[in-house]
Amino acid sequence: MGYVSSRVLSDYEVNLYANTLCDPSGHGDADLYIGTVSVTTDPNGYAPAVIALQTRTPQPMPDPAAPTRQRWPLPSMKRAGMDIGPAGRRALRVEALLLVPILLVLAVSVQAAGNSGGRGDVYLTGSLSATMSLYSGSGNFDAHKASSWTFRGAPVLHLYGHDMPLSLTVTEQDRTFRQPLNRLGINPRFGWTTGHLGYTSLNWSPFSLAGQSILGVGLEEKPGLFDFGFIAGRIRRTVEAADIAGVGHIAPVYRRTGYAARAGVGDKRRHASLVVVRGGDDENSLAIAPSATTVLPAENLVVSLLGHYAFDPRFVLDCELAQSAYTDDKQGPVDGKFSKGLLKAFGFMMDRRTSSHESQAFSAKFGWKDPRGGVDVAYKRIDPNYRSMGAYYFNSDLENVTVEPKWKFARNKVRVAGSLGFQHDNLADTKDVKTTRTIGSGRVDWMPGGKYAANLTYSNYSLDQKAGRSPLDPNSTKIAQATNNLGITQSLTLTGARLGQNAILAWSRQDMQDHTRAGNLDASYTADQINAQYALTWIPWGLSVNAGFNHSSYETATATTKVHGPLLGANLSFWRHKATLGASGTVSSTSVDGDQTLRTLLLRIQGSLRPTRRHRFTLGFSYHHNDARTPGHRRHRKARRDRLCIRVLSGGAPAL
């Protein structure tokens, strides 16, 4: 499980892959395609990315050289080793046919509410959307689901001056695992009161309640200088052993519930708040007790203090101190009292047990701002194994310092920004080695006028190791690496009454040097990439065409891989810009040491129709074909995938 942190109320697709073993490099390609999940960020910009695995043993992707079957999902489809038969195909057809009219009914309702209420006492804003995807493939692409659908909504009911936001996501995907994919949340606002009902993701602090999705009820109050908040509900659902039989290394999961409370005082210049998170597993939630000793009911208590202080508009200080008590087995015997200050004060909320451990996280950021720029200095320290049931994941066992200056010159035509950070782990001196990292980056933007722009970027990432608990042999076990990135981008835009032109030329290089004496030859590499694009637009016709060329190379001590190819595209806007039609295509060739190993063709066609200001229909089709062969052999391995995506979007009156 992970989460997406990006723009609010935006749609994203997340593709997930897996390996049976970790790649030694830490960032290798995956062998198994798990699935694709569509997510919509909430009003805070967060969305859980959860995939429900099929209840079968994952198999490696088929060999593209092996005989494959060509299939289109509706006429003939077999999934998870089971033929759905004529009845299943009829159900899919009905599913696809009913999806659009249902959306249209909802769209009309939204529009009617918006028209009847106008901007008066009662009206509706926001959006509703439905997406249907059909997929077929062969070779390496045969593992993808044959069809999928998603319904999303972010409508807001405005009732006599009060707002009632609603967020929902409904998909066809299986909901076996910790978080179900079908979600509904309502967040009504009445003056300085905000309510939460259903699925809600709140971000009260980075170290306590940080985006965890909770199914329950909550309330936030902000009357003047004071603010309060409370939320309680289910953090994750139960996963029985029978639900995951044959899936692989997936363990049963206890149902987890919890609550969080917040109290604060202050204004925008000076503010202090206290956040408490309490969560725990229900040891009686599994029908059959797990036999594995690693599956234990846990519980957690987190107490966090936050402060914000603006000395004047130019100097600002933000800090947070959080302490966490995490018990791996809540069924163990009670073992004394907590030792850390904040946990002592709230120790009445949870008993300390033999499997409990305490940890702390602290961060501080001081900033100086000026109309021409500023400087931020940040410090962060997170104890080893720091955890909170109010967040999905933490990078723990680290201490770092970061300095980030930025400045504007020449009447804002030149902008310079940089960052320099130092980080190390092994805070408790329990690891065999201590790893240090130095990360630096810089950027220069030059915008002499409205037509030409250029920017230069540079970054450096270095990693080194020192002896920790055990002696370090620099000839065999020490890891030392340095990565440098350099990029230059130039763009030229010319716009007239009838004609518009845009040209972009970009070059980047990444150089990674492995200074480990026992490292392998392919660990060090140099990668170059060149991208050139040109777009021409006939404004009165609403027609634009673009062409480009991409070239990249990846060179190691043992091989050189090159990928290059052209791209073409065109877009047409017509019917008073209510309809658009576009097509694009790319052809790329991959070679290793001069021998061609892969040829790829990717075609896309997309169209949209906006009959009214509040409704939009989109249709997209993509075709992806790979033709691969092993150097020195004539046998080709071909793989193909086709995808058809239909989407209907409806919106009420313009969102506030």
514-to-441, 445, 466, 478, 511 alpha-carbon distances in Å: 20, 31, 16, 11, 10
- Cα 646 to its chain centre, rounded Å, is 23
Q: Round to whole Å and give the CA distance between 270 and 309.
A: 5
Residue 292, pLDDT > 70, answer: no
pTM over 0.75: no
Q: Round to whole Å and give the CA distance between 487 and 581.
A: 34
Select from 337, 234, 211, 324 the least CA-distant residue to 281. Answer: 234
Q: What is the pLDDT of residue 139?
A: 67
Q: Round to whole Å and give the CA distance between 282 and 297.
A: 7
Within a 13 Å sphere around the CA of 640, how many CA atoms are in the beta-carbon half? 11
**Residue type for 620, please?**
G
Q: Which is more confidently placed, 141 or 482?
A: 482
Give the chain's end-to-end CA distance (angstroms, integer).
Answer: 32
Q: Round to whole Å and give the CA distance between 357 and 335.
A: 11
Percent of the chain with pLDDT over 90: 44
Q: Round to whole Å and give the CA distance between 315 and 301.
A: 34
Residue 518, φ and ψ in degrees, nearest 5? -95, 10
> Among 251-255, 502-506, 545-549, where is mean pLDDT lowest?
251-255
410-to-271, 448, 457, 509, 640 alpha-carbon distances in Å: 37, 9, 19, 29, 53
Q: What is the pLDDT of residues 72-114, one digit of tens each?
A: 333 333 333 333 344 444 444 444 444 444 444 444 444 444 4
Mean pLDDT over 249-275 rounds to 91
Residues 599 and 580 sit within 8 Å (Cβ to Cβ): no
Q: Which is more confidently placed, 625 or 317?
A: 317
Q: What is the pLDDT of residue 558?
A: 87
Q: Round to whole Å and give the CA distance between 372 and 375.
A: 11
Q: What is the pLDDT of residues 53-80, one digit of tens each?
A: 333 333 333 333 333 333 333 333 333 3
125-to-122, 153, 184, 409, 458 alpha-carbon distances in Å: 10, 11, 17, 43, 44
Residue 349, pLDDT > 60, answer: yes
Mean pLDDT over 247-269 rounds to 87
Select from 488, 483, 496, 567 the least CA-distant residue to 525. Answer: 483
- Is residue 118 very low, low, confident or very high in pLDDT (cuts 50, 70, 90)? very low
Select from 89, 54, 97, 96 the least CA-distant residue to 71. Answer: 89
Mean pLDDT of the chain: 79
Q: Round to whole Å and give the CA distance between 535 and 505.
A: 12
- Is residue 595 very low, low, confident or very high in pLDDT (cuts 50, 70, 90)? confident
Q: Round to whole Å and give the CA distance between 267 and 262.
A: 16
Q: Which two tokens stand for residue 15?
A: 């593709």
List, in sequence order, every residue forming a beta bridge with 392; answer none if it has no partner.
none
Q: For residue 112, is it left (φ>0), alpha (ψ between -120 and 50) or beta?
A: alpha
Residues 365 and 381 sit within 8 Å (Cβ to Cβ): no
> Among 157-161, 163-167, 174-178, 222-226, where is mean pLDDT lowest?
174-178
Q: What is the pLDDT of residue 210?
A: 92
Strands 433-446 and 452-467, bridge-based pairing: antiparallel
Q: What is the pLDDT of residue 546?
A: 95
> Among 12-16, 230-234, 313-317, 580-584, where is mean pLDDT lowest?
12-16
Q: Round to whole Å and give the CA distance between 655 and 605.
A: 30
Mean pLDDT over 498-509 rounds to 95
Residue 368, pLDDT > 50, answer: yes
**Residue type for 425, please?**
D
Q: What is the pLDDT of residue 2?
A: 56
Residues 343 and 323 sit within 8 Å (Cβ to Cβ): yes
Q: Round to whole Å and give the CA distance between 547 and 584.
A: 9
Q: Round to whole Å and give the CA distance between 9 and 168.
A: 11
Q: Which is more confidently placed, 248 or 477?
A: 477
> Among 321-335, 524-538, 611-625, where is mean pLDDT lowest?
611-625
> Among 30-39, 277-286, 322-331, 451-460, where is mean pLDDT lowest?
30-39
Which residues does 516 contact at the CB level (< 8 Å), separation at least 6? Answer: 478, 479, 480, 481, 523
Mean pLDDT over 224-244 rounds to 87
Residue 121, pLDDT > 80, answer: no
- Is residue 249 very low, low, confident or very high in pLDDT (cuts 50, 70, 90)? low
Q: What is the pLDDT of residue 297?
A: 93
